């Protein structure tokens, strides 16, 4: 067999894409360079022409994965408000609950890499957490304070960012429980699951019932149909 001749950069990207699939599904130790080469439809030798070692290939995937999601860019511009807060949580919940839908399961791969990192040295997770914090932290805390000032939320402890991470933990683990082919958990009334998650989180971060129902019910106005997905892993 002989592959088509192509530029080095394109070949690199194809290898990275194939390797990402393998590593996400089988972990680092569970992935063989042979299987990566097969997934990229090239010889094993060519793989090592592009990457000096299996570890270097893995490291490059993790580094590449640290790029931010374009989806959440539009949230940064939003003015801090209760509505922004609800939209942010809604976007986060929606993103994590539809994580297996995307093409090539890219987001599911990211979730897998994120999870395995916690079992490893945690460095990749640390980088991703830091990036997410940089991107969303200020909007979140400002929106919380704005909601408190507007009377929509009760003042919580002096660390509002912790609340964001609690919310993140909830949806990430919920997504993880739905990751296997046959889900680990079957939530009762799954059709309403996203709404239940949003309510749980919004109550948890201090919003009162009135604010939650009012902002969660009539919502289809600002973005008609378009997904408001947010968040990276």
The residues binding DNA (CB under 7 A) are 1-8, 11, 31-34, 42-46, 48-49, 52-55
Q: Which is nearer to a copy of itself, 30 or 222 (CB)?
A: 30
Cβ 6 to DNA, closest distance in Å? 4
Selected from 1, 182, 218, 220, the binder of a copy of itself by CB under 8 A is 182
Instruction: Give the per-residue SS3 of the chain.
Output: CCCCCCCHHHHHHHHHHHHHHHHHHHCCCCCCHHHHHHHCCCCHHHHHHHCCCHHHHHHHHHHHHCCCCCCCHHHHHCCCCHHHHHHHHHHHHHHHHCCCCCHHHHHHHHHHHHHHHHHCCCHHHHHHHHHHHHHHHHHHHHHHHHHHHCCCECCCCCCHHHHHHHHHHHHHHHHHHCCCCCCCCCCCCHHHHHHHHHHHHHHHCCECHHHHHHHHHCCCCCCCCCCCCCCCC
CB of 176 to a copy of itself, least distance (A): 5
Shortest reach from residue 120's CB to a copy of itself, in Å: 7
User: Binding segment for a copy of itself among 6-14, 68-76, 120-128, 225-233 (CB under 8 A)?
Assistant: 120-128
Binding status of residue 180 toward a copy of itself by CB under 8 A: yes
216 contacts a copy of itself (rule: CB under 8 A): no
**Hey, which residues between 77 and 116 contact a copy of itself (CB under 8 A)?**
112, 115-116
| Residues in contact with a copy of itself by the rule CB under 8 A | 26-30, 112, 115-122, 125-126, 129, 154, 156-159, 161-163, 165-166, 168-174, 176-177, 179-185, 187-189, 192-193, 196-197, 199-201, 203-206, 209
């Amino acid at each position: 067999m002989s592959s088509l001749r192509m530029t080095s950069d394109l070949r690199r990207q194809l290898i990275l894409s194939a390797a990402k699939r393998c590593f996400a599904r089988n972990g680092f130790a569970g992935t063989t360079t042979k299987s990566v080469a097969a997934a990229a439809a090239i010889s094993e030798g060519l793989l090592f022409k592009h990457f000096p070692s299996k570890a270097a290939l893995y490291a490059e995937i993790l580094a590449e994965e640290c790029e931010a999601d374009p989806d959440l860019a539009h949230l940064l511009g939003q003015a801090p408000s209760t509505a922004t807060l609800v939209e942010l949580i809604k976007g986060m919940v929606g993103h994590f609950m539809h994580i297996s839908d995307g093409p090539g399961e890219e987001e599911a791969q990211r979730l897998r890499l994120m999870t395995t990192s916690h079992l490893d040295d945690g460095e990749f997770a640390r980088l991703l957490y830091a990036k997410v914090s940089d991107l969303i932290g200020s909007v979140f805390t400002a929106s919380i304070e704005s909601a408190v000032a507007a009377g929509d939320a009760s003042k919580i402890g002096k660390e509002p960012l912790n609340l964001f991470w609690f919310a993140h933990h909830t949806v990430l683990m919920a997504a993880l429980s739905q990751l296997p082919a046959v889900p680990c958990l079957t939530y009762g009334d799954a059709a309403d699951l996203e709404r239940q998650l949003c309510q749980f989180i919004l109550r948890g971060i201090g919003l009162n019932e009135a604010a939650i129902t009012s902002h969660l019910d009539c919502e289809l106005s600002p973005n008609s149909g378009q997904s408001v997905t947010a968040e990276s892993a």
